[in-house]
């Protein structure tokens, strides 16, 4: 399938699509991952992965753009959501340099940022090593993506 939107639906009990992410889930608050739920999972799904990316961040480097807030994977195919502050599965490394969720914290006065919480449905239950960067992670999962979609939240300081 590659990277194309599917019928997979992603939502959160913490915020509505294109609405403000509550401070609790940002670097200005408790800095914990928001709860996420997904449905309309593609047939044949054996695993999931999640990542959060801010394309509005004023950072550009060779081969990337924006800021990666979360890389989370090895989620079994029967799971249909994550609790807030979930740490049950495997963490990659964020652009904060940590193997953990790092909440929105755009530069003050930089305006409204959009945070894309992507959920990928995979055709295999992958067992990837901890600490992958987003780009290392995507390189390994791309051949296994059978569905994907995102929830977009906003935040401004």
Query: How many whole angstroms separate alpha carbon 33 and alpha carbon 11?
Result: 13
**SS3 for 136?**
helix
pLDDT tens figures, 92-137: 999 999 999 999 999 899 999 999 999 999 999 999 999 999 999 9
What is the pLDDT, as a whole number, of residue 62?
A: 53
Residue 47's DSSP bridge partners are 76, 122
Q: Please state which CATH number belongs to domain 9-150.
A: 3.90.280.10
In this structure, are residues 74 and 137 in contact, taking their beta carbons and an 8 Å threshold?
A: no
Backbone angles phi, psi at 147, to 5 degrees: -170, 150
Query: How many whole angstroms separate alpha carbon 153 and alpha carbon 21?
Result: 6
Q: What is the pTM of this model?
A: 0.94
What is the pLDDT, as a whole number, of residue 57?
A: 87
Query: Where exactly are the structural domains of the chain?
Result: 9-150
Residues 2-28, mean pLDDT to the nearest whole number: 93
Lowest mean pLDDT segment, chosen from 9-18, 40-49, 56-65, 92-101: 56-65
- Tally of CB atoms within 10 A around 102: 19
What is the pLDDT, as a whole number, of residue 61?
A: 59
What is the pLDDT, as a whole number, of residue 3?
A: 63
What is the pLDDT, as a whole number, of residue 1?
A: 45
Segments of the chain assigned E as strands: 9-11, 36-39, 47-54, 60-61, 64-65, 67-76, 81-82, 90-91, 113-122, 145-155
Average pLDDT over all residues of the chain: 94
């Amino acid at each position: 399938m590659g990277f194309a939107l599917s019928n997979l639906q992603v939502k959160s009990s913490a915020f509505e699509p294109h609405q403000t992410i509550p401070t609790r889930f940002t670097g200005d608050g408790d800095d914990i991952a928001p709860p996420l739920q997904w449905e309309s999972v593609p047939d044949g799904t054996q695993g999931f992965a999640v990542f959060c990316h801010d394309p509005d961040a004023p950072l550009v480097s060779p081969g990337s753009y924006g800021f990666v807030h979360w890389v989370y994977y090895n989620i079994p195919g029967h799971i249909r959501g994550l609790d807030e502050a979930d740490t049950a599965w495997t963490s990659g490394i964020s652009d904060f340099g940590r193997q953990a969720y790092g909440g929105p914290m755009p530069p003050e006065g930089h305006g409204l940022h959009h945070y894309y919480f992507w959920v990928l449905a995979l055709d295999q239950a992958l067992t990837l090593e901890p600490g992958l960067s987003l780009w290392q992670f995507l390189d390994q999962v791309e051949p296994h993506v059978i569905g994907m979609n995102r929830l977009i939240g906003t935040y401004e300081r």
